[in-house]
Amino acid sequence: MDKQNDQSRMDKIVSLAKRRGFIFQSSEIYGGLNGFWDYGPLGVALKRNLKDCWWQDMVSGHDELATPAGAPEPYEMAGLDCTIIMHPQVWKVSGHFDLFHDWLVDCRESKKRYRYDHLHGRFASHRNKRVFVVTDQSGDDALPHTLTRAQKFFGLRAKQIEEIQWEGGIEPLAAGIAAGTILTAETLAPDAAELGTLTDPREFNLMFETRIGALAGGDDDRAFLRPETAQGIFMNFKNVLDTSRVSVPFGIAQIGKSFRNEITPRNFTFRSREFEQMEIEFFCKPADSTAWYRYWRDRRWKWYLDLGLTAGKLQLREHHADELSHYSVGTADIEYAFPFLAEGEFGELEGIAHRGDFDLRSHSEGKLVRQDGQLVVEQGVDGKPRHRGSGKDLSYFDDVTRERYVPHVIEPSAGADRAVLAFLCDAYHEDEVPDEDGKPRSRTVLKLHPRLAPLKVAILPLVKKDGMPELAAELYRKLKPHMAAMYDEKGSVGRRYARQDEAGTPWCITVDGQSLTDRTVTLRDRDTLVQSRVAVDAVVDLLRDRLRTGVS
């Protein structure tokens, strides 16, 4: 599919999401708030199902006695739910206070703000004027954007476009400025008419700040909304260890909101300022950590496939050594080819990082930095730790081997909103189905995995009379305690099927004239469109079984 089709596909998905009540812009009646999204009736069910699948597959359904395929040995899992606002020292020691920032530049003319690393461009000359045309577009969109910007700047008509002379290809603005090959005065900002309107880049911390207490004002009252859920798990490592009889290797899982004051939220919910994460910190023996890293990387990859994401659109990407954080021994990203990205580009769904003993040691000793290949406590100008740790012993004593060590950590960190978006994009299909008269009718269908589908089944009486509504209601009440079921008697059956297809409902049950005589109903499958007759009393078991095995 070419890029343009992909963009129109994305537009259709966004419009379906709004029209059917999956996702709305936050505070829409006041014009909306950039980077914030609300989940409507179908969206909240989809997102909850996704989080439930994750919790069930990673935590509550985990068999602690078995060795899962690829794992070095059996392991335990525990859950946690901790606060969004934590002691400010947490973020100083974790590195978020010092390091969690982006560089941004403002345009004095258009008042727009850009992430410095998102700006690229190329030199264009016409007659005696030479400018560096800056674009904030990425991938395939960047070149055409610079072309139209240059045409407008030089005041040319479309047929004069060939008169522009270009030097080289698209290059990052930041690198050219740093090397002195691009001067700010010769840059044409993405939304400006004049040259040289971009400010120098400024650092911008991505953490939202707040104040604690009624008399807030001093520096001691400053607090932050968490930018990740992971740190709460490290805060409770010892609590969980001391209270729940777990022993290494074990993992602690948490699902919760995180906040990042992203400079340029974009691409629907992909880059939001408030979002949910599903994170695991897995604590293991240092010698086994590489094997555990591989296990979690492969396990998490398989999870997306098992829930139906198209394999060809998923990518597992190991980071190169120069991309790794200073503490990380290995990191892999699970990425999806979202329709809003250029051909060949992928967006991150989840990162799986081998974090060594960085976090537990930092929170014990003080913020660590790498020096000569070693992690050491960073010193301030006074020679004291720059950010003090808790001083608490966060090591682990192995009763069997009688060894004491600081466990190594493997962190699979996923975003619930990005996963919902990937599943929505992947599920979106347009095809043709025969209508009641056998004529082809185009339909929009969300082919969501039954576990994820907001509604599992819709019960439709063919007509609103002759006892059909009563039998349909009986069946609805039988199904409701077991799965999300809906009763719908409004409109023609064809239109009711269409509504359910758009909502991603895997099964529709129709109660017709024959149902009243032999107590059988028609079960329609969303994807295959196969219709089969099933006894009313067999429906609950049949659908429960299909839901459990994931067969639609």
Would you call 123 helix, strand, or coil by DSSP? Answer: strand
Phi, psi for 75 (deg, rounded to 5) = -150, 165
What angle separates helix 539-549 from helix 468-479, to the nearest 10 degrees?
40
Contact string 404-423 vs ligand ATP (x = CB under 6 A): ---------xxx-xx-----
229 touching ligand ATP, by CB under 6 A: no
CB closer to ligand ATP out of 368 and 416? 416
CA 62 to the chain's CA centroid: 23
Q: How far is the CB of 262 from ligand ATP (least distance, A)?
A: 5
Phi, psi of 291, rounded to the nearest 5 degrees: -65, -40
Sheet with 485-487, strands from edge to edge, namely 485-487, 457-461, 507-511, 520-525, 531-535
Structure tokens that stand for 195 in this block:
């040259």
Kindly give the residue spans of alpha helices, DSSP state H, lying in 366-467.
416-427
Q: Of the listed pieces 59-67, 270-278, 300-308, 321-329, which binds ligand ATP according to CB under 6 A?
A: 270-278
* Residue with smaller CB distance to ligand ATP, 275 or 396: 275
Report if residue 351 touches ligand ATP, rule: CB under 6 A.
yes
Of residues 119 and 521, the one with the C-beta less far from ligand ATP: 119
Q: How many residues bind ligand ATP (CB under 6 A)?
A: 16
Handedness of CA 163, 166, 170, 171 (dihedral sign): negative
Number of CB atoms found within 10 A of residue 542's CB: 14
By CB under 6 A, residue 231 contacts ligand ATP: no
Given the complex with ligand ATP, which of 221 and 348 has the nearer CB atom?
Answer: 348
Under rule CB under 6 A, residue 349 binds ligand ATP: yes
Phi, psi dihedral angles at 150 (to 5 degrees): -65, -40
Please tell me the distance from the alpha carbon of residue 509 to that of residue 445, in angstroms, as a whole number.
17
Which of 120, 271, 456, 546 is close enough to bind ligand ATP by CB under 6 A? 271
Per the DSSP assignment, residues forming a β-bridge with 533 are: 522
Length of the chain: 552
| Binding characters for ligand ATP, 507-546, by CB under 6 A (x = yes) | ----------------------------------------
- Give the span between the Cα atoms of 504 and 246, in whole angstroms: 40
335 binds ligand ATP (CB under 6 A): no
Q: What's the min distance (Å) between Cβ of 92 and ligand ATP? A: 18
Instruction: Evaluate the omega torsion of the peptide bond into residue 249 and state whether it is cis, within 30 degrees of 0.
Output: yes
CA-based R_g, the chain, Å = 28
Residue nearer to ligand ATP on the CB measure, 121 or 227: 227
From 71-79, 267-275, 474-482, 518-526, span contacting ligand ATP (CB under 6 A): 267-275
Smallest distance from ligand ATP to CB 303, Å: 13
Closest C-alpha among 307, 311, 228, 277 to residue 418 = 277
Give the residue nearest to ligand ATP (CB).
Answer: 415
| Residue 260 binds ligand ATP (CB under 6 A) | yes
131 versus 230: smaller Cβ distance to ligand ATP: 230
- 286 contact partners, CB below 8 Å, separation of at least 6: 356, 357, 405, 407, 408
Should residue 92 be labelled a site residue for ligand ATP when binding is judged by CB under 6 A? no
Closest CA to 305 of 317, 296, 315: 315
Query: Which range binds ligand ATP by CB under 6 A, 67-75, 320-328, 345-353, 378-386?
Result: 345-353
Which residue, 35 or 469, has its beta carbon nearer to ligand ATP?
35
Neighbours of 141 (CB within 10 A): 14
Residue from 546, 537, 547 nearest 471 by CA:
537
CB of 49 or CB of 413, closer to ligand ATP: 413
Residue 355 sits in the site that holds ligand ATP (CB under 6 A): no
- Name 37's bridge partners: 25
Q: Which residue shows structure tokens 């290809």?
A: 169
Task: Tell me which of 49, 151, 187, 272 binds ligand ATP, using CB under 6 A.
Answer: 272
Question: Taking the complex as a whole, how short is the minimal distance between the CB of residue 115 and ligand ATP, in angstroms?
Answer: 10
- 419 vs 462, which CB is nearer to ligand ATP? 419
Query: Of 151, 229, 254, 277, which one interacts with ligand ATP (CB under 6 A)?
Result: 277
Residue ranges that bind ligand ATP, judged by CB under 6 A: 228, 260, 262, 271-272, 275, 277, 348-351, 413-415, 417-418
